[in-house]
Structure 1
């Protein structure tokens, strides 16, 4: 991870096919990160039983232990991605988080598992700032929405696979396995070890990605020696808080819905409908694998179409449009009056389609409104907020409602309904504010590095 190669020596591939290959490789790594991140949600009941945890304590393992370190470390990783070799940064990160996921399987207490989850978070913090930056240097502005959306498919593909793979492993692994040196391990511990070690080949796959020339397709021209400190970037973001603030908070609310449902829907079906973990894992995972990637891809296409039709604020208007039906489905999917599990699954399918709709457009809007030299740090700041609020807060708020308001874990569906019904209108309001500021920020970003003759 030494300094990034000089732009005069590193020539990005001119092949359009290779550019899409790069995005697909990065998307698969993103999917892997979410498998390692989300597979915990399928094993709520056995881990709670073995470690003696409440819903609130478990929510800290799902969200806060991950979110705090992921977000704070991510700011530094954004700085590295703006100044160092991004491909190598990703390789190091994948290796680290895969090994830490395997260590989750050796946990014997809440503290052990908490620390291992922190390690997963630190490793995963390397990926997105570097991956978004690489993607932006392989595609023109006209294709950026689709490219970013393709990368963002990894979130939803990985979340779905976490449930499908986890469900299949739980169904096939003995309740207790005796391993040399490690001794007796429960099924949930073996799942972590298997999934963690399976990530190492992905680090090798990333070595096939070539580091591209920074700012290749941008109208902005940059000095390869120009460095932007974290402090300077933060001053830039805070001085333009009327755009960045509503942008970050609006998309945080949409992220809150996704994380809340991903974290607690398996427990909802186990507690309310009496399903086995393997059953809901395969059913809910299949829904996520199909509908969520479809949503983010159609969302990216929709944003690009709006831009082509003359909507300069397309990457913010598109998410606002997608959030309206999301409000409906998030308020209904786990409502107490929906008694048939098949109807809940159908509503969840629609929910995850629209919950993923904004993903590619969110980063496309951010990149087009931010100077090149700060884009990775802008991505890191964006991930800081949406993960701290969405990942840290979403599962936690659901658990707090269940434990302290309803005081009945059977009513977790009502907790999900409240979170989904409240978060979406806040998102719509915030994104409307951001859309008003967006054209001015795009113009300022272009002026920061005017084209040279």
Structure 2
């Protein structure tokens, strides 16, 4: 069924797209700092004497618990305060704490530093989505959201490409740097990698402060008093399955991103630097293609009057994840595993390229920052809290410490992708009705402005 799409008010192209570019860069660097630990699993286990389950804790709960818990308070701030300064402060915090990971003498220190990385990164997405929702509308909003989400793909690729380069540099060239070379010679290579990754964010925080704070969308008196919980209570049969389904898919996404380097290092004998170089560029291209297809598809469907376009595109990615998530990690050769991983990340990008736009389309403007924060809270409590640790636990308790990482990933994929897809597929009718109810006030406002 086709429905009229609200008119799109004029937006300064230079300002809007320039802001989007900086936000994409920030999202990419956040994933670099979040996931670079995946290339350092084996040296961390050896030097800090920790097991697979503890590695999973560092990749998941250490980063994710406060990242998730602070998302909602920071979402409230994003709805009420200066969003650009909030994001710049967050970048500085996570960059400093990534560097602090490189000074860790113990598991406890590293765990605490990873908590700090999560605290800083929690400020970014709710504020960024709120900014983009004010700069873009209609079909262009779906495209802008998918391009912003492409920062995940860029960051995942960078965490491998730059991570591999950082590993090689730490092993061969860091000690020759002027002034700090003698000090770096006293550190392990994995410590130098964390220091280098943390340094990347400092100039980005300065660039963020150059962005002008956009004007907020006008809201009606009813919307101003319509809080997040009232929004949820009005449509529980929409939001509960939507949050649950996306959280299950996010669990598999985080588990795969965290343990993918170990899949090739342990199961196929690649080095960390080799893994970064071989997979980084391929993953970057493949995941970016998924993000771009996600945005282009939603834009095309939206222009044809399919107001439920974001959910339909997200479902397409979820449907692809069902077979490749459950079977792909079981590939018996390095080439087969590469093909499977690329298909998995293409599907993840296609799906999550529309995740924020999917929630924005059914949320009143006054509570969008809080709704995105709630989505991140649920997704990260489940995705980060359970995703990486579940693989580590399966390796230690079920598959065996010397077993295949791919077997553990396949078990996680089977248990998450199928129910996640089914939950979200049940929502199309209710989602369409909710999106129409949100778009009608914007349509009337646009008509009045014209």
- TM-score over 0.5 for the pair: yes
Other structure's SS at 1:185 match? coil
TM-score (norm 1): 0.90
Residue 212 (structure 1) aligned with residue 229 (structure 2)? no
**Matching residue of 1:301:** 296
Residue 328 (structure 1) aligned with residue 323 (structure 2)? yes
**Matching residue of 1:364:** 357
**Matching residue of 1:186:** 188
**Matching residue of 1:277:** 272
**Matching residue of 1:46:** 43
Mark the CA change 1:281 to 1:146 in structure 2 (over 3 Å): closer, same or farther.
same
Mark the CA change 1:357 to 1:141 in structure 2 (over 3 Å): closer, same or farther.
same
Give distance in 1, aligned partners of 2:241 and 2:224: 29
**Matching residue of 1:201:** 203
1:262 offset after TM fit, Å? 1.2
Query: How many residues matched?
Result: 433
Give distance in 1, aligned partners of 2:286 and 2:129: 23
Mark the CA change 1:366 to 1:200 in structure 2 (over 3 Å): closer, same or farther.
same
Tell me, which stretches of 5 or more residues in structure 1 are unaligned?
1-11
**Matching residue of 1:345:** 338
Write out aligned runs for 1:130-141 (5 A).
Answer: 130-141=127-138
Mark the CA change 1:223 to 1:450 in structure 2 (over 3 Å): closer, same or farther.
farther
1:222 offset after TM fit, Å? 3.9
Q: Deviations over 1:136-193 (max 9, x none)?
A: 1111212111100000001111011011111111112138968677882110001111
Q: Deviations over 1:102-159 (max 9, x none)?
A: 0110001111001001111010000000000111111121211110000000111101
**Matching residue of 1:7:** none
**Matching residue of 1:417:** 410
CA RMSD of aligned residues (A): 2.4
1:421 offset after TM fit, Å? 2.5
**Pick from 370, 377, 391: which aligns with 2:370?**
377
Give distance in 1, aligned partners of 2:119 and 2:225: 24
Q: Deviations over 1:52-110 (max 9, x none)?
A: 11111110100111111001111110000000011111111111111111011000111
Give distance in 1, aligned partners of 2:283 and 2:381: 23
Give distance in 2, aligned partners of 1:80 and 1:201: 24
Other structure's SS at 2:329 match? coil
1:343 offset after TM fit, Å? 1.8
Residue 108 (structure 1) aligned with residue 105 (structure 2)? yes
**Matching residue of 2:219:** 221
- Greater shift in the superposed pair: 378-387 or 171-180: 171-180
Tell me, which stretches of 5 or more residues in structure 2 are unaligned?
1-8
Give distance in 2, aligned partners of 1:30 and 1:97: 12
**Matching residue of 2:6:** none
Does the CA-based 8 Å contact 1:64-1:392 persist in structure 2? yes
**Matching residue of 1:9:** none
**Matching residue of 1:6:** none
Other structure's SS at 2:353 match? helix
Give distance in 2, aligned partners of 1:183 and 1:308: 58
Residue 154 (structure 1) aligned with residue 147 (structure 2)? no
Give distance in 1, aligned partners of 2:329 and 2:432: 39
**Matching residue of 2:5:** none
Q: Deviations over 1:10-59 (max 9, x none)?
A: xx994213311111110000000000000001100000111111111110
Does the CA-based 8 Å contact 1:83-1:227 persist in structure 2? no
Give distance in 2, aligned partners of 1:192 and 1:227: 45
Mark the CA change 1:75 to 1:221 in structure 2 (over 3 Å): closer, same or farther.
closer
Mark the CA change 1:14 to 1:446 in structure 2 (over 3 Å): closer, same or farther.
closer
**Matching residue of 2:26:** 29
Give distance in 2, aligned partners of 1:13 and 1:142: 13
Other structure's SS at 2:60 match? helix
**Pick from 412, 436, 439: which aligns with 2:429?**
436
Does the CA-based 8 Å contact 1:34-1:158 persist in structure 2? yes
Does the CA-based 8 Å contact 1:257-1:355 persist in structure 2? no
